[in-house]
């Protein structure tokens, strides 16, 4: 049997600056090669913490448990090391990098990921192809990273990086937030088009909207830092129809949680 792309084993994590505030209370998750998983949950359930912790954000500390990538324990690895090993995080709020063009960033990131400079011609060809898949004008690549980008442009630029870096695990943190229907479709179709056959995808979302375009193999409901229910794509449809309350009620968790 092939190794799972991602395994979370009893993952508990807290805020680095406030170690007494634990956000994730023991998460178990396994994504096989080529699988798409969606983690859904109400606000404040710990979805973004989970995404950031897997990516190695210094804002969170792991109290217990493990993160394994392709069978390798990366729990103690720094963010850049994880990225070089194949973790990619599409940010919910991509940070502007003043004075650094997307081309510049991509070249550096590819150099880091591959351990060597990518030939200029090959790089340009791939960049052009990836841009066109995302319906992005070439001019976007010459602009400063996320500076003055619209919400849709920022999310597309994230997927552009995913497409160029070819990670083994892509974490899409609220990639659908702030997008109108057309932009959402473009981004979602871009994800599907740029996905490598073995890439694992973890979609973090509040709404099921994006799942209308990207069908997940598994859906997990995260509440108060724990996965309380897992199922197939129909679970997302259930939430679309009825919201989180019925599930929370069924599990006796409704009190204190907001939908």
Partner 1 sequence: MADATLSTSYTEAAVVAASKERGEPGWLTEKRAESARAFEALPMPTTKLRPWKYTDVSSLAIESFAPDAAFEPVVSGVGPQGAFIGSLAEAAADATFGPIVEQHLGSLIPATEGKFIAANAAQWQHGAFVYASRAKAFEEPVTITLEASSGAVYPRLLVVAEAASDVTVIVRCVSGEDAVLASQVVEVIAGADSNVKLVFDVDWGLGTQEFTTVRAKTDRGADVRIATLAIGGALVKQSLEGILEGEGSQARIRGVALGDGTQHFDFVTLQDHVGAKTQSDVQIKTALAGSSQSIYYGVTRVEETGLGAAAEQENRNLLLSRNAKADSDPVLEILTNDVIRCGHGATVGPVDQEAFFYLQSRGLDRRQAMKLLVAGFFNSVLSDVGDDALREEVAAEVEQKLAVASI
Which residues are near partner 1 by CB under 8 A?
A: 55-59, 78-80, 82-84, 87-89, 91, 94-100, 104-105, 108-109, 112-113, 144, 161, 165
Q: How far is the CB of 58 from partner 1 (least distance, A)?
A: 7
Task: Tell me if residue 18 falls in helix, strand or coil.
Answer: strand
Smaller CB separation from partner 1, 140 or 228: 140
Smaller CB separation from partner 1, 16 or 251: 16
Q: How far is the CB of 46 from partner 1 (least distance, A)?
A: 19
Smaller CB separation from partner 1, 84 or 133: 84
Q: How far is the CB of 98 from partner 1 (least distance, A)?
A: 5
Task: In whole angstroms, give the CA distance from residue 249 to residue 255.
Answer: 8
Token pair recorded at residue 196: 């490598």
Sheet holding 200-205, edge to edge: 87-90, 169-173, 200-205, 36-40, 218-223, 226-231
Most distant CA atoms of the chain, gap in Å = 58
Q: How far is the CB of 200 from partner 1 (least distance, A)?
A: 17
Smaller CB separation from partner 1, 102 or 253: 102
Q: How far is the CB of 99 from partner 1 (least distance, A)?
A: 3
Q: How far is the CB of 76 from partner 1 (least distance, A)?
A: 15
Smaller CB separation from partner 1, 97 or 259: 97
Sequence-distant (≥ 6) Cβ neighbours of residue 206 within 8 angstroms: 40, 41, 42, 43, 47, 174, 177
- Rounded alpha-carbon distances, angstroms, from residue 90 to 63, 187, 188: 24, 12, 13
Token pair recorded at residue 135: 């319906």
Smaller CB separation from partner 1, 112 or 251: 112
143 touches 101 (CB < 8 A): yes
Instruction: Catalogue the E-assigned strands of 206-248.
Output: 218-223, 226-231
State the residue for tokens 């798409």. 36
């Amino acid at each position: 049997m092939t190794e799972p792309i991602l395994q979370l084993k009893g993952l508990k994590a807290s805020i680095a600056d406030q170690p007494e505030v634990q956000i994730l209370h023991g998460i178990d998750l396994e994504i096989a090669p080529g699988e798409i998983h969606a983690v859904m949950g109400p606000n404040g359930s710990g979805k973004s913490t989970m995404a950031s912790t897997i990516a190695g954000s210094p804002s969170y500390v792991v109290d217990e448990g493990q993160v394994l990538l392709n069978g390798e324990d990366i729990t103690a690895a720094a963010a850049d090391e994880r990225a070089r090993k194949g973790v990619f995080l599409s940010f919910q709020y991509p940070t502007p990098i003043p004075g650094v063009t997307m081309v510049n960033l991509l070249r550096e990131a590819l150099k880091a990921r591959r351990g060597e400079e990518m030939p200029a011609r090959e790089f340009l060809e791939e960049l052009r192809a990836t841009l066109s898949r995302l319906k992005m004008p070439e001019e976007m690549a010459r602009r400063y990273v996320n500076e003055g980008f619209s919400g849709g442009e920022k999310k597309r630029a994230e997927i552009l990086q995913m497409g160029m870096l070819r990670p083994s695990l892509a974490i899409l943190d609220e990639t659908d937030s702030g997008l109108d229907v057309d932009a959402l479709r473009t981004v979602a179709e871009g994800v599907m088009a740029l996905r490598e056959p073995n890439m694992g995808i973890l979609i973090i979302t509040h709404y099921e909207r994006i799942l209308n375009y990207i069908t997940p193999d598994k859906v997990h409901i995260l509440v108060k830092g724990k996965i309380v229910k897992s199922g197939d794509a129909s679970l997302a449809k259930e939430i679309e129809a009825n919201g989180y309350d019925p599930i929370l009620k069924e599990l006796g968790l409704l009190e204190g949680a907001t939908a």
